[in-house]
Structure 1
Amino acid sequence: MDTSVRFKLTALFAALMTMTANNGWAQQDNPALLDEVIVVGIRSALTESMDIKRDSNGVVEAISAEDIGKLPDTNLAESMQRLTGVSIDRSNNEGKQITVRGFGPTFNLVTLNGRHMPTSAALNSEGVNRSFNFKEIAAESVSGVEVYKSSRAELPSGGIGATIDIQTARPFDYDEFTSTISLKGMMDTSNEKGSDVTPEVSGMISTTFFDDMLGVLVAGSYAERDSQSQRVGSQGWVKGLGTADTSAINTEQNPARDYWAPYTFEVEVANHYRTRENGQVVLQFAPSDSLTASLDYVMSTYEEDIDMNRTSFWFDNPQSVTDTNGTAIQIRNPNDQLNFWAWDYHFRTENESLGLNIEWDVNDQLAIKFDAHDSTSHSQPDGLPAETLTSLNTPIDWYAVPPVGLVDIGADIEGTALPKLIYDDSALISQTGAGAFDKNNVSAGLYQQRGYEVENNIKQYQLSGTWNIDVENGLRSIELGIENTVYDIKALHTTDANYGLNMDISDLAVEFYSLGGFGDQLDNPENLFPMLINYSADELLALIATQDQLIQSPANQNRVEEDTVAAFVSLNIDTFLMRLPVTINAGLRYEDTTVTGQVIQPGISAIEYTNKSGLTPIYSDTNITYSDEFSYSHTLPNLDIKIDLTSDWVTRLSYSEALARADLSGLFPSLNITSARPGGPYYATQGNIQLSPYEAQNIDLSLEWYYASGSYVSAGYFNKKVDNFLTAFQIPTEINDVNGEPLRDPSINPRPGCPDTSSSACLSQPQDPIISWSTITPTNADSTSVDGIELNLQHMFGESGFGLIANATMVDSEAEYDVNSYNQSLVLPGLSDTANLIGFYEKNGLQLRVAYNWRDQFLLSTGQHQSGTEPTFTEEYGQIDINASYELNEHISVFIEGLNVGEASVRRHGRYSEQLIDAEQYGSRYTVGVRTTF
């Protein structure tokens, strides 16, 4: 970790503590006066969240709704990022998944009212993981969130970073008839093609009947968002691509003079159209004071359409000049072509959950709880591929002398700004009378359709009991429970492609236009491509179908079932240590899991030499079936000790063991060919049902001072030692065809006419060389540790109405990525320092809040190229959000919200900061609305 950053954050926190000490702490001299003050809104929610933190065993952070159905942000993930140690991963500049204490979405478990919730995915690039997508749930339907950073026996397993429980409202939460309606209009300043203002509507009605014996709650929400994103970037940087002048390299840092050049450079514009629907119905029945039964149904649908166009070029064999670290800063590739891409994304997810909960206070000592639910997440229920991509390019006549259609391409890079993209189509103009950006000089290149249809079902049954002993200065209660959780995941993976299109596109609507975006934030838009292309991938696909050039491949069918039986015991003890009150929670959880996996996938009959840059597998009608099984068990202890040093000071010590399971697609047994180029490289992937879960030993220490109503300061230290980290091993593999013979490469010694003509001669034959595939398979391998410091301040400035929140988390790990090492097997994506600074005012019906969220640079991912593994880093990012509301009367309020009001842009780079991967520009989002409560 950068020590200067650590110092600055710590100094900021110390300064804020000093400021509040001078301005607000004197109020604690008259605590009785504070008890008479009734607070609502922001202060009420923050005070409730503080009380949850103070009274909990272990380390817990919480968010409470300011009012019925009103969380402090329009997106649940964006509310959670304000918590100490919590940061978010964004998609289209909207909170999607969370990272806690440097552990990414895979390592965190999200539950809904204590229940495992299934997730599903549609995009080929995302795979199928367990990470909850917070974009799918409206913040209005949530009454609170609790983040358990230390594990406990009664909590379901699956969270090493944290276990996050989302809580929804129930009718018995309210004393009488309650209703709320919120009407909003959202304006996204980035939008160009969609509606200027999109609606968001939410509402809830709750009431009770028969002397509070029966309760009914109905809630729902509907939201749209239209936006645009603009991007300049590359598909990645490759070590040793082409040739290079490496004379400038600093050999003390890079003695081997290794160098990196980009695969591509590209400019793209994407238009997004998102719709989200949430609904909830809850029935509660209490025939007596000791028995309550709750039946709840929760549903959500999330649908997004994206149309995207991209202008790009590929560097097949570039000639480069490097800087001192080996990054190509002057790149030239003569005799190549431009590519004009179109993407059409359509993905839809439908979620449903039906649950029953029964709570029975048998007597004053014994309480029993039973909970069961059946929940399903289904992506692409219509069965359509989520992603269609097509390419047009400048056609090349290699048989002409000289060849017709070639352009010279290149790029110059200065510092970390955008590259200066270079192309020279003067030869093309002299040959054809038109340049590369002319419809008459483009032809169809390829198409792909790909994606997942996933149906993920969870059935869970939980029976627990609490025996209240209430022994003074001793054992207060014992909790016992048993659980059974069954994941059943079915996934169809589709990959259809034709890399050798030869067709008439005269009927396709093709339009070239000026970029007209990318302002000062991304620098030098005049150095990018002078024109972008606009055409529809779906329209081109329809044209491909009419000319009989669709190639449809059977889908891979993967199925994984994960059956876990768990039992736990937890002891709650009240005692004294040197006359200081001590609360102890000691627990033990045992879990036994059996995982079974099966795949049905089409066999391969041959490999076709399709074109100069691609080999295509030819699938047969014969399927291959494979299955496997794996079992494991774990015993997970925990010990939480809380000591009340005074009436204001609390200290904690926690030890726990936890686990997190591998992503679901990592368990899929299917073997997939991902990339095959003439002469190599040849890549394939295969899941591994034998993966053990990640295992963590966690230690937490904290000191907390609750010095006034709604105000506290805390400091904590944590350490996590994690075993069984996954490493993607490359295993040399021969892949057999349906006849049991190894696949061969027809491009090494091509037969006449290949690949320029489609014939059986271009198919692999017995005399062709056998392909050695690099099959990437996840395997348990390494261990690492993560430790960090958390600082938190929440302060109310007396009765002035002003308040302040400041928090920071600083993390360190053995698994930080070393850019000067090319053989790291263990790295931890998502590891970064984070900080928040929030100021608010609430008085006389007026609420104002300004929030700044900051996240330091972090490793996003590592990608596999023919030269090895290369990293992608997301650079430091800070965002400002605002919120203001005014109560017209006790029932009606108006509000305005602004997200990313500074229009911060996102930048990602490769091994070094000069190696641009993504520079993304978004706009601000403003919401204006009215809210009624009765």
Structure 2
Amino acid sequence: MSLFKPSLVMLALASTGMAQGVVAEEQQAADEKIEVIEVRGIRGSMLASQAVKQGSTEIVESINAEEIGKLPDVSIAESLARLPGLAAQRLDGRANVVSIRGLAPDFTIATLNGREQVTVGDNRGVEFDQYPSELINSVVVYKTPNAALLSQAIGGTVDMRTVKPLSYNERQLVVNGRGEYNDLGKLNPDGKDKGYRASFSYIDQFNDDTLGVAFGYAKLYSPNQEERWQAWGYPNLGYDDANPLVLGGAKPFVRSSLLERDGVMLVIEYQPSSNFSSTLDAYYTKFTDEQLLRGIEIPGQWGAGWANDGVIGTQNEDGLVTAGSFVNSKVLVRNDLNRRDADTISVGWNGIYTINDDWSLEGDISYSKADRTDFGLETYAGTSRGNGCTEGGCENLKFQMQGDRGATFFPTINYADPALIKLGGPFNWGNNVTVPGNAQDGFINTPSIEDELSAVRLTAERLLSEGPLASIQFGVNYSEREKSKKDEGFFLTLKDYPDTLAVPSQYLMSPTSLDFIGMGQMLTYNAEALLNDGYYNLTSEGETVSSRATGTWSVKEEVTTGYVMAEVDTELADRSLVGNFGLQVVHTKQSSTGKAVTQKDGLVVLQDNSGGDTYTEWLPSANLSWEVMDSHQLRFAVARSLARARMDKMNAGLTFNYDPSLAGSTDIDNSPWSGGGGNPSLKPWLAWQYDLGYEIYLDEGYLALGVFYKDLENYIFDESVVYDFSGFTVPDPQPALTDGQFTQPENGRGGYIRGVEASAHLTGGMLTDVLSGFGLILSGSYNESEVQETADSDPIDLPGLSQKVANATFYYEDYGFQARISARYRSDFLGEVTGLSLARIPVYVKGETLVDAQIGYDFTEMGVDGLSVLLQVNNLTDEPFVTYQNGDTRQIRDYQQYGRNYMLGFSYKF
């Protein structure tokens, strides 16, 4: 029996290899025959996270790898979704973006080793599935900021951290490998249903432990399948409000995806003396997601008059037509391809110099860049070209609504017959300007993003030996960020136009099954090969569609942040009181360039446009933690924080209309000018936030309860304002007025968001030693908000806010065995999904409960040191992703079924 019982903090640090030397010294001082205690696995990870939470002066949540390269999830997004007060939204079956305390990803900042990261999305919200979990050693989520946290937001800051090689006292080398299988199988004949993930991590120390090196590589080759129902919408039958709602149209697909991600991490740490240390770290990920989509687009009520002769409803339930038929219906057979290529690189150098016992200096230089290119290919086929039917080309297509699952159809036509279904647009979707109305035979979307950020930071700290303050630190950070988007789209027209074209046999594949919606088999072919082999002509949509020009923009920000912060270390009623208080001052210069667009004779006319603003905000903050009794902490925090506006809302692009018939008007309400667009002068969201929490720490576990209130000083709404159009050139006659009404995002009235959070880690050992291997991790939160555009308007639904979020993990770990089952739940919320032209659009997402499970064995118990095996199942209950429109849960937009992912693999630590 060991005589030495390390503290909770020492246990946690030892489990991550950060304080083995300190533990060894305590052991030697206690007894020369002490048994070495090493806490590993789930409990080691939880103890390390618990130590971070307990030792922080801020209110934080933490994730720590069980050991290097061994976070259990595919990406950091999955791991974050298990933390109290956090929730993730799925994209194509995987966790993608994160909401903190009910606030959308727009209100969250992600950092890597304390440095703000660029993003591959259109805005600031980080897509966390870009970050392999194998290369991240720990994550700290700051729910309350301090003045020294230079990258902060209203929702919170997610700081991902790589390893510090000199924190380990020996060489470590870890190899992981897992095979992967999806139980839906291959839904497309050219898809894949088997994949793998592998990683390699190496840590070593040289030169008498003054030089440390860490290197990691992670490879993901992950197939994903989906059966997708998607509705156009639900108008009234006959467009008469007195009539029931009916299916406006449907776009169901099956999708086979292959996600390939390569990640590389390098850390070089140098500490030649006790008063100087230097760390260089680099992180790179390359991300390719290729999606094969095949389906049949079925116009319903909105297709009446051109795709069918109308809708006959035969069954009506609560104001919704649940059964009927589309008379003389014609459909569109689609073979599509989506591909996303994204690269992210982040490089930083940090140096700390201790001048003497009182003073230290720190410098930090960083650079990060992200590039993303999307390629979305649509190809169309049908029974004939253009609107209208030919003999045998239409049918009375019956349908039956199936609740959340959308509709089932009952076709009489064989849509897999290559003699009947031919290439060529079956509807008049062309623009009749540059492309004849019946000549749109497909489409290509090619948006791209480039995001670049560089920063330099200088800080100083003065330690204080007397009084209630432990130290005072101050510093300055300067950063430049520029994000640009280029949005292009192209009509496809067959070179044989106006003829249709039977798919050449060399491009045909085995038919794809659409049995999940009752449509049977559909014609399947290699669409990209047809494009590459020259069967189509391309015409730019940007010549006629204003949104393509306004969707191309650039936003630049120069931010200077200065701060001062005092650390508190004193006593209150003979109990420890620690914390900090300080002030940030943030000066921002922002600008944007874009295009001002009008139209003449159906063609767009472009003019350059730009704008911007400069502002300064003062952000005070304070965090206090009082040890009420042993291992009991009472926390209080208050801060003013900001979250910068969405970059697509800061876009200087706009559309405007000029009516020459009103050129002589001097009445602003009858102005010849009107328009709409972005607002380069948008100020950030601002909020005062207040937190109160109580935490109880146990030998192995904790209990925590907290409440928060965020007083939003403003919110961003689309509003109509008077705009000066004098900078734009228009043909004669010249107007008497240069002002007109313009719709753009504005900083408007605010509101509040408030909530309560509870979390616990409990072990069976609290009851009896017999149950010491069992543990339970629980968390739950409840959030509510009220934000109004005006004092008289109804409150809006905040994006990303689920009223209820809950997580539970039950685990067993002993005798080499490790097993866990985890469930995470979030209630309905307003999220974002992909819409037309690959743009992101808001929809309501139904509540969901996701269940994952894993079981493993560590062969160390059998004398094989370092080897362990693992079986993991993600989405164990095959939970669908469901969205709906207009706040009406009957109006299902998406019903996406992803299947279960099985992974079997090993880990070997040398």
Q: TM-score range by the shorter chain?
A: 0.7 to 0.9
Matched, 1:703 2:694: yes
Partner of 2:859: 888
Partner of 1:452: 447
- Tell me the CA shift for residue 808 of structure 1: 0.5
SS in 1 for 2:169: coil
Partner of 2:843: 872
Matched, 1:236 2:238: no
Matched, 1:386 2:375: yes
Matched, 1:211 2:208: yes
Question: How far, CA to CA, are the matches of 2:762 and 2:386 in structure 1?
Answer: 72
- Tell me the CA shift for residue 201 of structure 1: 1.5
Does structure 2 conserve the Cα–Cα contact (< 8 Å) formed by 1:218 and 1:282? Answer: yes
Going from structure 1 to structure 2, the CA distance change for 1:737 and 1:583 (only over 3 Å counts) comes to: closer
- Tell me the CA shift for residue 507 of structure 1: 3.9
Question: How far, CA to CA, are the matches of 1:584 and 1:738 in structure 2?
Answer: 55
Partner of 2:706: 716
SS in 1 for 2:889: coil
Partner residue of 1:168 out of 162, 165, 169: 162
**Deviating more after overlay: 218-227 vs 313-322:** 313-322
SS in 2 for 1:47: helix
Does structure 2 conserve the Cα–Cα contact (< 8 Å) formed by 1:396 and 1:405? Answer: no
TM-score, length-scaled by structure 2: 0.82
Question: How far, CA to CA, are the matches of 2:199 and 2:788 in structure 1?
Answer: 43
- Tell me the CA shift for residue 219 of structure 1: 1.2
Partner of 1:899: 874
Question: How far, CA to CA, are the matches of 1:548 and 1:197 in structure 2?
Answer: 36
Matched, 1:786 2:769: no
SS in 2 for 1:665: coil
Question: How far, CA to CA, are the matches of 2:325 and 2:750 in structure 1?
Answer: 43
Partner of 1:919: 895
Partner residue of 1:637 out of 620, 636, 640: 620
Partner of 1:87: 87
Partner of 2:242: 246
Partner of 2:54: 54
SS in 2 for 1:914: strand
Partner of 1:490: 484
Does structure 1 conserve the Cα–Cα contact (< 8 Å) formed by 2:164 and 2:214? Answer: yes
Going from structure 1 to structure 2, the CA distance change for 1:71 and 1:416 (only over 3 Å counts) comes to: closer
Amino acid at match of 1:806: L
Question: How far, CA to CA, are the matches of 1:189 and 1:38 in structure 2?
Answer: 38
SS in 2 for 1:596: strand
Does structure 1 conserve the Cα–Cα contact (< 8 Å) formed by 2:787 and 2:795? Answer: no
Partner of 2:141: 147
Question: How far, CA to CA, are the matches of 1:737 and 1:451 in structure 2?
Answer: 31
Q: 1:745-791 deviations in whole A, cap 9, x for unaligned?
A: xxxxxxxxxxxxxxxxxxxxxxxxxxxx9986333223121111111
Does structure 2 conserve the Cα–Cα contact (< 8 Å) formed by 1:692 and 1:724? Answer: no
Going from structure 1 to structure 2, the CA distance change for 1:36 and 1:599 (only over 3 Å counts) comes to: same
SS in 2 for 1:44: helix
RMSD: 3.7
Amino acid at match of 2:450: E
- Tell me the CA shift for residue 539 of structure 1: 3.8
Does structure 1 conserve the Cα–Cα contact (< 8 Å) formed by 2:418 and 2:502? Answer: no
Partner of 1:465: 460
Going from structure 1 to structure 2, the CA distance change for 1:482 and 1:309 (only over 3 Å counts) comes to: same
SS in 2 for 1:386: strand
SS in 1 for 2:208: coil
Partner of 1:678: none
- Tell me the CA shift for residue 690 of structure 1: 1.4
Partner of 2:291: 306
Does structure 1 conserve the Cα–Cα contact (< 8 Å) formed by 2:511 and 2:522? Answer: yes
Going from structure 1 to structure 2, the CA distance change for 1:388 and 1:895 (only over 3 Å counts) comes to: same
Question: How far, CA to CA, are the matches of 1:930 and 1:302 in structure 2?
Answer: 24
**Deviating more after overlay: 188-197 vs 584-593:** 188-197
Does structure 1 conserve the Cα–Cα contact (< 8 Å) formed by 2:381 and 2:421? Answer: no
Matched, 1:189 2:178: no
Amino acid at match of 1:712: Y
Question: How far, CA to CA, are the matches of 1:219 and 1:83 in structure 2?
Answer: 25
Going from structure 1 to structure 2, the CA distance change for 1:288 and 1:440 (only over 3 Å counts) comes to: same
Going from structure 1 to structure 2, the CA distance change for 1:725 and 1:242 (only over 3 Å counts) comes to: farther
Question: How far, CA to CA, are the matches of 1:807 and 1:130 in structure 2?
Answer: 28
- Tell me the CA shift for residue 563 of structure 1: 0.5
- Tell me the CA shift for residue 363 of structure 1: 1.6
SS in 1 for 2:478: strand
Amino acid at match of 1:699: Y
Partner of 2:171: 177
SS in 2 for 1:831: coil
What are the within-5 Å matches in structure 2 for residues 210-359 of structure 1? 210-238=207-235, 240=236, 242-244=238-240, 246=242, 260-314=245-299, 315-316=301-302, 317=304, 319=311, 326-330=319-323, 333-359=326-352
Going from structure 1 to structure 2, the CA distance change for 1:904 and 1:704 (only over 3 Å counts) comes to: same
Amino acid at match of 2:211: L
Does structure 2 conserve the Cα–Cα contact (< 8 Å) formed by 1:243 and 1:319? Answer: no
Question: How far, CA to CA, are the matches of 2:386 and 2:798 in structure 1?
Answer: 48
Going from structure 1 to structure 2, the CA distance change for 1:407 and 1:738 (only over 3 Å counts) comes to: farther
Going from structure 1 to structure 2, the CA distance change for 1:260 and 1:547 (only over 3 Å counts) comes to: same
**Deviating more after overlay: 152-161 vs 87-96:** 152-161
What are the within-5 Å matches in structure 2 for residues 393-432 of structure 1? 393-395=382-384, 405-409=393-397, 411-413=399-401, 415-421=403-409
Going from structure 1 to structure 2, the CA distance change for 1:861 and 1:236 (only over 3 Å counts) comes to: farther
**Deviating more after overlay: 137-146 vs 836-845:** 836-845
Q: 1:302-343 deviations in whole A, cap 9, x for unaligned?
A: 011111012121232455769676444456553442112232
Partner of 2:666: none
Question: How far, CA to CA, are the matches of 1:299 and 1:665 in structure 2?
Answer: 26
Amino acid at match of 1:130: R
| Percent of aligned positions that are identical | 22
Question: How far, CA to CA, are the matches of 1:324 and 1:780 in structure 2?
Answer: 42
Partner of 1:801: 773
Going from structure 1 to structure 2, the CA distance change for 1:568 and 1:781 (only over 3 Å counts) comes to: same
Does structure 2 conserve the Cα–Cα contact (< 8 Å) formed by 1:458 and 1:486? Answer: yes
Amino acid at match of 2:501: I
Amino acid at match of 1:882: A
- Tell me the CA shift for residue 70 of structure 1: 1.4
Amino acid at match of 1:687: G
Partner of 2:635: 652
- Tell me the CA shift for residue 540 of structure 1: 4.5
Going from structure 1 to structure 2, the CA distance change for 1:726 and 1:503 (only over 3 Å counts) comes to: farther
**Deviating more after overlay: 223-232 vs 722-731:** 722-731
SS in 1 for 2:144: coil
Partner residue of 1:626 out of 570, 592, 609: 609
Matched, 1:104 2:104: yes
SS in 1 for 2:252: strand
Going from structure 1 to structure 2, the CA distance change for 1:304 and 1:737 (only over 3 Å counts) comes to: farther
Partner residue of 2:798 out of 817, 828, 831: 828
Question: How far, CA to CA, are the matches of 2:247 and 2:720 in structure 1?
Answer: 22
Partner of 2:420: 440
Question: How far, CA to CA, are the matches of 2:339 and 2:224 in structure 1?
Answer: 15
What are the within-5 Å matches in structure 2 for residues 118-137 of structure 1? 118-121=118-121, 128-137=122-131
- Tell me the CA shift for residue 826 of structure 1: 3.2
- Tell me the CA shift for residue 871 of structure 1: 6.8
Partner of 1:761: none
**Deviating more after overlay: 368-377 vs 719-728:** 719-728
Going from structure 1 to structure 2, the CA distance change for 1:539 and 1:244 (only over 3 Å counts) comes to: farther
Amino acid at match of 1:880: V
Does structure 1 conserve the Cα–Cα contact (< 8 Å) formed by 2:254 and 2:514? Answer: no
SS in 1 for 2:513: coil
- Tell me the CA shift for residue 592 of structure 1: 0.6
Going from structure 1 to structure 2, the CA distance change for 1:336 and 1:487 (only over 3 Å counts) comes to: same
Going from structure 1 to structure 2, the CA distance change for 1:720 and 1:261 (only over 3 Å counts) comes to: farther
Partner of 2:197: 200
Q: 1:647-679 deviations in whole A, cap 9, x for unaligned?
A: 021111111111111222222222379xxxxxx
Question: How far, CA to CA, are the matches of 1:853 and 1:816 in structure 2?
Answer: 31
Does structure 2 conserve the Cα–Cα contact (< 8 Å) formed by 1:600 and 1:626? Answer: yes
Question: How far, CA to CA, are the matches of 1:73 and 1:503 in structure 2?
Answer: 51
